[in-house]
Amino acid sequence: MVTIRLHNTATRAKEDFVPIDPMNVRMYVCGPTVYDRAHIGNARPVVVFDTLFRLLRHVYGKSHVTYVRNFTDVDDKINATALARKASGDPRDLEALIHERTDETIGWYHADMDALGALRPTHEPRATDYIGQMVAMIQGLIASGHAYEKDGHVLFRVRSYKDYGALSGRSVDDMIAGARVDVAPFKEDPMDFVLWKPSDADLPGWPSPWGRGRPGWHIECSAMSHELLGAAFDIHGGGLDLQFPHHENEIAQSHCAHPDEGFAKVWMHNEMLQVEGKKMSKSLGNFFTVRDVLDQGVPGEVIRFVMLSTHYGKPMDWTAEKAAQAEVTLRKWRGLVAGVEPAPTPLPGVVSALSDDLNTAGALAELHAAAGRGDFAGLLTSARLMGLLTAELGDWVRTLDLSPYADRLAALRSEAMVKKDFAGVDAMKAALMAAGVEVRISKAGVELLPGPGFDAGKLEGLK
């Protein structure tokens, strides 16, 4: 069996991956807070961990991998949208408006991520369905002295967990020294973070031993991963920006709630994405959504290819140039594998590249090599292991019948060959190319293929 090696953020080393239970390999990845469309940066962890999911399924068997990715549907931004809709005269109650917002956002998320060829995880829990588990976990933490209640808030006592900061490599004292930490009157220590906070009547809330309130963000993932994967599981993933404080807090909560159980064995963090060389951030407003990119005519498969062309552990720059190059390659490959029967197994080179800490760029190089040596069956199967060249993602390569145009062009050309006047042929050729059609004329005849930027509308009147 192939040995998968993964870079473990917790140990800062590339390690052989040995599942706790090869019959049930378990992975948890922090999912989106569903307050709005996913932006292009959100797509990176989705594609990265989808690729890992596919690799794990290939190695351990499809039914032996459990992948959980949550939806955080408790959030001030969700509330804000719902409150705004209410303020603008919507007669429904707040709860209904919140549900509407989270439901529509989850729908968008599914549609957008499906477009990138990402498989749906085994479970996609919504935080609001696990409030009971969160409350229970918080109660346990209070009972064991790791948390305390003050003024309707429950806080985690960071100083009670000696390894706090180990994942991100910081000491509690350093954090306080340099940083802006939220000093609130109900905190024993500035580093303590919220497990539960009170809700007023205008906000969603759930009953609890500490009054009506809602959970803090970090406890959600601890409760859901425990419920669905158990107290110990194999891989925990997410963006590097979640390493601190989110993952650090998760570790503290889960280890204290379930001492000696282990929690997540391997921590994986994808680096951030930039756009045209600049940091993308909501506060700067220079971000765009996956849907924006799709609507601009960039196929989801192209987005996926671009994501896979950079190793997940390196910062990646999203550029129009990369998307254009990816499209050229995919068009070529789609042409090569058309009608080809997939090979029974993927290429060893591709599997070993992916197994080497998800070296997707190296795997793509292997695909290029396969294309170069004419192994189209191997190319197809291996690309599909990475979620590329799949049937579902193929719609963008248009199979529009251009033969009437080809016939017309061929006729014009024959005529021109006799008359030695090529003006008419050249005019039609130029028009076809302006419409994004690739014109191939050879002794074998005339062949037309839709190319990058193909616009059927520009073909009007060319017949």
Partner RNA sequence: GGCGAGUUGGCGGAGAGGUUACGUACCGGAUUGCAAAUCCGUGUAGACCGGUUCGAUUCCGGUACUCGCCUCCA
For the segment 48-67, give every residue that binds RNA (CB under 7 A).
Answer: none
- Provide the CA 287 distance to its chain's centre, in angstroms: 16
Q: Given 3-state DSSP classes, what are the helix, strand and coil percentages for the chain, each rounded to the nearest 5?
A: 45, 15, 35
CB of 177 to RNA, least distance (A): 7
Token code pair at residue 339: 């009608």
The correct pick among 8, 33, 128, 254 for binding RNA (CB under 7 A) is 33
CB of 108 to RNA, least distance (A): 13
Q: Which residue has the tokens 């004292």?
A: 173
The correct pick among 8, 42, 225, 254 for binding RNA (CB under 7 A) is 42
**Which amino acid, residue 70?**
N
CB of 187 to RNA, least distance (A): 13
* Residue 72 DSSP class: B
The correct pick among 231, 272, 343, 462 for binding RNA (CB under 7 A) is 272
Q: Show contacts with RNA in window 404-433 (CB under 7 A).
A: 413, 416-417, 422, 425-426, 429
The 169-208 site mask, x for binding RNA (CB under 7 A), equals xxx--xx-xxxxx---------------------------
**Which amino acid, residue 74?**
V
CB of 307 to RNA, least distance (A): 10
**What is the rounded CA–CA span in Å between residue 264 and residue 26?**
9
Q: Which is nearer to RNA, 25 or 306 (CB)?
A: 306
Interface with RNA: number of residues (CB under 7 A): 75
CB of 36 to RNA, least distance (A): 9
CA distances to 29, 234, 296, 310, 393 from 303, rounded to whole Å, are 20, 28, 12, 12, 11
Q: Show contacts with RNA in window 201-260 (CB under 7 A).
A: 217, 238-246
**Which amino acid, residue 135?**
V
The correct pick among 24, 122, 329, 390 for binding RNA (CB under 7 A) is 329
The correct pick among 172, 369, 410, 431 for binding RNA (CB under 7 A) is 369
Buried/exposed 58-67: b ≥16 CB within 10 Å, e otherwise = bbbeeebbbb
CB of 445 to RNA, least distance (A): 10
Per the CB < 8 A criterion, the answer to whether 43 and 287 are in contact is: no
Name, in order, each residue with C-beta under 8 angstroms of 327's C-beta and a sequence gap of 6 or more: 298, 299, 302, 452
Instruction: Report helix, strand or coil for 27.
Output: strand
- Based on the shown chain and the rule CB under 7 A, indicate whether residue 348 belongs to the binding site for RNA: no
Phi, psi (5° rounding) for residue 442? -145, 180
The correct pick among 316, 397, 406, 448 for binding RNA (CB under 7 A) is 316
**What is the rounded CA–CA span in Å between residue 224 and residue 125?**
7
Q: Which is nearer to RNA, 3 or 63 (CB)?
A: 3
